[in-house]
Structure 1
C-alpha cells in the first residue's frame, strides 16, 4: 500500500490507525511533542491510589479502582505483552529496501515514517518497535538497517494521534481551579500522564474524564494540558491547563523561573545547616533515568532548609530555583543525604537506619500568577514522621 506525505511516498505493508474504543468522541489535534518521563520499555506503574478525604475546599472526584496493588517496596509494574497495543492501533510494518541498507535505525524510521527522530526515540524507549517479533529498546537506535529487515511499529506513529483514555473510576482530588487551569493533589505512585496509548492509570486519565476540554491543549496527545511533571513516587501539587492560552502563559512562567515551588523531603541523616546547593547536573543513564553531578552538566540551584531534625533523618524544606529531572533527589544524595525510600539514589538499604514505605518527597506549595496552592503532607508521610524521635 502506498501513502503520500507531501512529495514523499512510503511503502506501508500495514498502516490502519484506529483510536481506542474507550477514547472515542475526543477530537484529534496536530502537534508533535516530546516526553521527559522515562520508564522501562513496556512497564508502567499499576496502582493509582485513591485520594483520601481532602481539606476544606477540596473536591474529591471518583474512587480508586479495584485490584490496585502496591507495598513498601513501591508500585508493582505490569509488562504489556505482545498484542496489548494492537487493541488500540494496528501495527505499521515497513521493510528495508536496497537503497536504505546501512542507514541508522532512527534515521531510517524517521525518514520512512515522516516523523521526528525524537519521536522515533520515544517509540524505542516505550517498546513500540519490533524486529522479527523482538522488542527493540533505545539501544537499537544506532543499529544499521539490513536488506529485508521488517520492522513493526505498534501504536500511533504521531504523538498527536494518541488520546488518553478517560477513567472516571480513578480518584481525582482537585484542590483549586480557575479560568483555564486546575490543580490536582497527585498521589504517590501515580504517573502524571501516559507514556503509551495502552497506559490508562495516570492522573491525566482521571482528569480527562472530568475535564474533556483538556485534550489537545499544550503538547497535546498523551501530554494534553500537562504544565509540569512530578516523579511517579512524588506526591502533591500538580498543575494542568485546560485552555491553550493559559498553558502558554504558565509554561512561560516555568521557563522564566517565575514559579515559587516548595517541596518537603525527608532525608537520611542530620542535615543541620540551611544553604543554597548549586551543582551541575546531567542525565547519565536512561531506562530508568539517573542524574549525576558532572562538570559538563547544566547548572542547577536549590535552597534547602532543615525544619525538623530527628536522630537519623531530617525534614527539609526545599525551594527550587531551577528545574531539572530528579534535581532534589540527585542533589541531596550527592551531599550524603538521600531522600528516604529513594532506591535510585541510595535512600534504601541496610545502611539507611530509617526504612520508608516509598520515596518521601512531597510537592507542598506552588505560587505562580493567580495560582497559590499549598497541600499538606499525605497520611503515609505523616505516619513516618510520628515514628521518628526528634532531637
Structure 2
C-alpha cells in the first residue's frame, strides 16, 4: 500500500490563534491524521514550539513559531477532499447569506450534514473549506440536524468562534425555527419544559425525568385543516430538541423519520412535501468583533412555500 508523506510546516502564532492547547492546534493543522498519531509526535518531540519540546497541554502564545513535522499516511487514510465542481458543493456558494472577515452564515439545504462522518464523505464545513481554500480557519459555531434546513454559523477566526460559542453558552443567542406540525396546536401551549435524555446507542432522544433540562417556546404562525405552522425557539440546545418537544405535545413535525407520524407524512406528501419541515429561519446575536446586534433571516426553500400554498387551498 502506498504511503504519502506531508511536508514540514512552520506556523507563526498570532493573537487569534493564541490561547489554544498545542494538541488541539495540531488536530486542526493535520485534519486527516489520527489523534493517536498526533499525540505520539508531540510526545516524541517532533512538534516544536520556538525550537523547544513541549507537552500536549502547552497553551500557545502570540509570537510562538510552531514546527508541524512531516507525517506518513497510508493513501487509504487520506480523506477525499470535496470537488468544488460537484453540484452539491458548488450550490453552497449561493447559500451563503452573510460573510465578513470574522464569520460566514449559510442557509444550509435540507439533506446536507454539517460535517462528514458516519459514512458521509463530506458535509457543509468540508465543502466550505474546499470553496475557500485560502481561509486559514473555518469552524462550525453550532450544529443543526442533517434534514433541517436554515441558518448555520461558521467562524473564520478563532476569536470569533470563542465569542460566538460563549453567546450560545450564555443563552443570549435567539433562534427561531418554522415547523409544520400535525393537528391543531393549542394557543395556550407557549412553553414546553421537558427534560431530554439521549440514547447513546441509537441517538434517539426521549422525554425522561433523568434527562437534561430543556425548554422550547412556541408561537402559532398559521393554522390549516389538519396541520399548524408554528414558530419554535429553543432556549436550551439539546439534540433533536424541537422534534422531541413537538412529539411530546402530540404534534410531531411533518416528515420526521424518527419522531413523526407516517399518516401525517402521507397527508403532506399529497401537497408535495418530501423532507422534514423544520427550518432555522432567524437568528439574533452580537457580532463577535463589533458587538453590533445582528438579525439574520434565511428564506425557506420554494418547495416548502409551495406546500403551504397548497395547504391553504
Residue in 2 aligned with 1:276? 191
Equivalenced residues, count: 250
Match of 1:180 among 93, 102, 115: 102
Q: Distance in 2 between matches of 1:310 and 1:265?
A: 13
Residue in 1 aligned with 2:24? 31
Pair 1:319 & 2:240 matched: no
Deviates further, 358-367 or 175-184? 175-184
Whether the 8 Å CA contact 1:278–1:300 is kept in 2: the answer is yes
Whether the 8 Å CA contact 2:181–2:229 is kept in 1: the answer is yes
Match of 2:285 among 360, 368, 388: 368
Residue 351 of structure 1: how far off its partner (Å) = 8.3
**Tell me, what secondary structure is at the counterpart of 1:357?**
coil
Residue in 2 aligned with 1:266? 180
The CA deviation string for residues 103-123 of structure 1, in whole angstroms up to 9 with x for no partner, is xxxxxx98x9969xxxxxxxx
Q: Distance in 2 between matches of 1:231 and 1:365?
A: 16
Residue in 2 aligned with 1:291? 205
Residue 245 of structure 1: how far off its partner (Å) = 0.6
Q: Distance in 1 between matches of 2:8 and 2:116?
A: 19
TM-score, with structure 2 as normaliser = 0.69
Residue 255 of structure 1: how far off its partner (Å) = 1.1
Whether the 8 Å CA contact 2:102–2:156 is kept in 1: the answer is yes
Residue in 1 aligned with 2:302? 379
Pair 1:346 & 2:253 matched: no
Residue 354 of structure 1: how far off its partner (Å) = 2.8
Q: Does the C-alpha gap of structure 1 residues 26 and 188 become closer, same or farther in structure 2, counting only changes over 3 Å?
A: farther
Residue in 1 aligned with 2:150? 236
Q: Does the C-alpha gap of structure 1 residues 18 and 270 become closer, same or farther in structure 2, counting only changes over 3 Å?
A: farther
Residue 326 of structure 1: how far off its partner (Å) = 0.2
The CA deviation string for residues 313-344 of structure 1, in whole angstroms up to 9 with x for no partner, is 10000111111100000110111111100010
Q: Distance in 1 between matches of 2:226 and 2:178?
A: 17
Tell me, which stretches of 5 or more residues in structure 1 are unaligned?
1-13, 35-87, 93-108, 116-152, 157-161, 218-223
Tell me, which stretches of 5 or more residues in structure 2 are unaligned?
12-21, 41-73, 288-293
Residue in 2 aligned with 1:203? 124
Match of 1:190 among 112, 118, 125: 112
Q: Distance in 2 between matches of 1:332 and 1:27?
A: 51
Residue in 2 aligned with 1:388? 311
Whether the 8 Å CA contact 1:339–1:360 is kept in 2: the answer is yes
Q: Does the C-alpha gap of structure 1 residues 351 and 255 become closer, same or farther in structure 2, counting only changes over 3 Å?
A: closer
Deviates further, 349-358 or 252-261? 349-358
CA RMSD of aligned residues (A): 3.6
